[in-house]
Structure 1
């Protein structure tokens, strides 16, 4: 675990493996705590004396405690570092799933505006125009975030072999393509409605 601490894998299965190894190591550390406490308790009666042997034991005890504190500090650091990539990785997958559902919802709402019957009454046309404008703006607003997710997914896939990440990357690519298609579709509908409504208002 210590050698891997400088590089924490992004792949979920590798993180799980490292977490299990860390858990085993932590159990070993926990099993040593009573021994450390016992040594300190027994060492107290010697530290108070002024003999050379007592000073030697006191020095060794201080050194042991210093090293023990370093181990505990390192354990806490590894635990924090292991938890964060797992949380971030899972959050990424959940975010991609959320955007997949979001783009499906956008498409459904655009389809509900169809057909665009330019011979319909003006109030109905204005209602569709307003609704499509909101949907188009929503797509534009989320485009940058989806592009960031694409870049992140690409980077993770280059650095891992996880099939789950491959599926997520494919999903965010599909989301982006559908966004582009829906953006063009909504834009075309909006342009048609604008032309009709502007003509009617003259």
Structure 2
């Protein structure tokens, strides 16, 4: 009998993908103004801990304001640029510009942005963790075969919290779940 080479399960985390609004920065609906960008508490430290651990980082963000005609691509680009100025570089930035009724495969909860981000970072979706603030983030992760951590906000529905496999109170706590042996601020335990 031949034995197959075993692959660890779950596979090690090689990349973390973040929802943008409500997760990395405070949610300002249909924000096209870079001056209104405010990182959530602990975002810089959480991202620094992940970068220090050698993990690839990406953003996966629904931006239906473009498809609805409320924002231009240039406005969203300016906001995304400001986020990178405040929080540092990301290895990939995936955006769904479509309206919810467009029927695309990229808009969360569909897996398109997660699989595209994984491919852009050179990892398998199973090696990714998606951190977001609503059920669509969790569903997109699972549809792609990735792990998820929900960080609830006042916009998160109670049913989304109870159905999420992993929930963290803050972005720092989410990072602590991703990086075993580190505290919520990214330091060693």
Q: What TM-score do you get using the length of structure 1 for normalisation? A: 0.20
Q: Which has the larger radius of gyration?
A: 1
Higher strand share: 2
Task: Write 1 or 2 for the structure with the bigger share of helix.
Answer: 1
